[in-house]
Amino acid sequence: MSERIDTETPMWGKVTSLALQNSPAHGLRLWDLPEFIRAFAEVKHAAAHANRTMGLLDDTRASAIADAAVDVARGGLLRQFPLRVVATGGGTATNMNVNEVLAARAGRHLPADVSLDIHPNDHVNRSQSSNDAYPTAVKILLSRQALDVAAALRDLAGSFRRQAERHDGLRRLGRTAWQDAVMVSVSDMHEAHATAADRFAAQFEAAAQTLHVVPLGGTVLGTGVGAPDGFTQSVVEQLAGITGLPLTPSACPADAFAHADGYATLADIAARCAAILAKQCEDLRILSSGPNGGLSEIKLPTLQPGSSIMPGKVNPVVPTMVIQASFSIRAAATAVGMAVVVGEPDINPNTPAVVASLSPALTELAAVIPVFIDKCVDGIAWNRERLAALAARPFDSLITEAEEAGYDVVADSTVS
């Protein structure tokens, strides 16, 4: 829960003000992504500790910056981050928004009898560049979101498996090309849904692991200029402790700065996962179609009226919601892929576009899955009478007959 702090007076400085002047007045704002601001504050917190350890910051300033970073990470200063996520330039304006707010807030943490200046560049940004601080914060943000989605998918797999156990032994008429085929197991169908959810959970977990390799300490273009020897290891160790994530430095800083394919990998997983979730929801909509003119093999929970004019009509509202959510998630992957391609020889400056597309997409995915579980999957009820009626003449026996009499003979007798 965020801590309430009075923030009516702007604490940002000239760079943030200029970026506000030069950017559109509307759009996704940093304050709309509190977990991104938290991650950025954690980066600055770690840097303050590392700079103190390396003798680059005095104890008083380092402690004040660290305390200010904790304030920001707790969410109490959200309104001090008014920039668009996609602001002017790359991530420099965002990095400076954080630096300026932390410098101003840190001044309030200084002892009353101490008169020291805390400068956004000289102190808060010491041994860092927007080149390394920004993507590090992004990787922390997206790795946490990826793990949140993975956890939701594990829960979804559990829900489908409970349905599989509940309907063990129940069979339904399978279909190919929408024509009758052979009898299939209801449990197998639910187990297939669970297996897919688990598979995507594992992919999200693996993607998060790749994002735990961070470029912090590489400063400008991975050169490390402006940071002392040993800073990279020190600051990443500090950041791992603060975030609780198993972060490690990039083995090849030049690669880390030039290539952003890890974001595209995560976006692709999200898109494919959203597509399969949409397909599963469409399965449920088809099987629950009716109640008189459709298959009516399953009944989904009755949640709300499905029509403003047809009394008593009930629609599969949750599956429909998940399907529609999948559109923006899949579109986000296209935007991320474009951002990854359009880089420069030494750096990819498009990370803000990645954040603006991928972070909301992952938020959406993590939000709809629990509702899908609670309001739909957990309440699936199979219509046993309808299943029995549809199972009157499957193709199972005809396949057996064809093994003895031949395909053509059985086919001719069936047609006649």
Active site members: 307
Distance CA(158)–CA(164), nearest Å, equals 10
Can you read off the two tokens belonging to residue 109? 């943490």
Q: SS3 of 181, please?
A: strand
Mapping DSSP onto H, E and C, the string for 330-392 reads HHHHHHHHHHHHCCCCCCCCCHHHHHHHHHHHHHHHHHHHHHHHHHCHHHCEECHHHHHHHCC
Nearest to 93 by CA among 44, 20, 40: 20
Distance CA(274)–CA(314), nearest Å, equals 25
Angle between helix axes 396-405 and 407-415 (nearest 10 degrees) is 130
Q: At 375, which amino acid appears?
A: K
Q: Judging by DSSP bridges, how do beta strands 248-249 and 298-299 pair with one another?
A: unpaired
- Cβ neighbors of 391 (< 8 A, separation 6 or more) are 171, 172, 173, 183
Distance CA(339)–CA(350), nearest Å, equals 6
